[in-house]
Amino acid sequence: MENPTPRQAQILSAVAECYIATGRPVGSKHLCRKAGFDVSPSTMRAELARLEEMGYLRQPHTSAGRVPTDRGYRFYVDHAPRYARAPKAPEELMLSLKGEVGEAIRGAAALLARSTGMLAMISSPERGDVSIRHIEVLQLQPDLVAVVVINATGGVSRKLFAFEGSVDPGLVKWAHGFLNDAAVGLDQGSRLLKHRLADAELEPMEKSFIEALSPALLEYSGGDGPELVMEGAPKLLSRLELEDDFDVRDLVEMLDRRDELMKMLGSTLAEYRVFLRIGRENPSAAMRGCTLVAANYGPSDRNLGTVGVLGPTRMDYPVIIGSVEQTARCLSSYLEEIF
């Protein structure tokens, strides 16, 4: 396919930015008067017509101005300084990432949806790997002890244990070290872990305490797959109702099929940069009028989940891309701290 000339590329970017901002087709007179192009209206009309022939622009109606096609948006995204207007990482996002991983993901999704006005989707880490990464043993009250287990994908489980009398703080501190030495690297709920805890040569008091706490490590239901957290669907659907050539009913049906959305986000897990599917680049016909912007998150050695924003193809790409990337970066930092 033929690429635009440098001047045509500037005109295409100007059309994309103007249409994204106003939602109205962009004409030659507007480009000559307000976009700063030092060419005659006839020359501008010829360049717009050429960009239309090349598949970058289209005319919604006869005698109307032009709007970008999916190919036009793709060229604009790939060549524009996409991060020029990206927002700084909001302090509110960093403060919202607290508690267990699921709680942090829900908070990040809600904030991303609110800041972009679109549908935010975040897939949780896979639960297939349940090897224990770290254990915390905390004395909440003299007779109340909490055991927090963090697995290799960032999943967190917590169990409380009430004792008849006060527990020696020294015993709690010892149990923290013992359980991390004995259990880290083994699968939560595994038979090997059970044997290791039961066969340890311990003093009677230590052995009794470990037996009391062991359900936190040995009781694991398993079988939980990754979850998909979605926020902002009502706003997205209301916005898409105003877009031309878009049937909202198709997207409503698509949003009900979470397994397909999870599969779509999962297909991007190998990516190590922001990933976009614009319009007809989406595999689902119900999403052909939308753009998906996604980025993966996780510790430095692996991707664990995906942050995505789904919206109309007419979106503020620099801001949306920056918001998605920053949310993924903040979640990655949060998981690094957990690990």
Please name which of 237, 256, 246 lies closest in space to residue 279, comparing C-alpha atoms. Answer: 246
Residue pair 310/276 in contact by the 8 Å Cβ criterion: no
Ordered structural domains, the chain, with CATH: 6-79 (1.10.10.10), 91-126+226-338 (3.30.450.40), 132-218 (3.30.390.60)
pLDDT, residue 224, reads 55
Residues (pLDDT < 50) of the chain are 84, 223
Sheet holding 144-151, edge to edge: 132-141, 144-151, 156-162
Q: What pLDDT, in 10s, does the model give residues 127-169? A: 555 678 889 999 999 999 999 887 765 567 789 999 999 999 9
Residue pair 147/209 in contact by the 8 Å Cβ criterion: no
- CA–CA separation, 177 vs 40, rounded Å? 77
> How many residues does the structure list for the chain?
339
pLDDT, residue 315, reads 92
pLDDT, residue 130, reads 64
pLDDT, residue 222, reads 55
Helix, strand, coil percent values for the chain (each to nearest 5):
45, 20, 35
- CA–CA separation, 17 vs 320, rounded Å? 14
Indicate the pTM of the whole model. 0.71
pLDDT, residue 33, reads 83
pLDDT, residue 103, reads 78
pLDDT, residue 67, reads 95
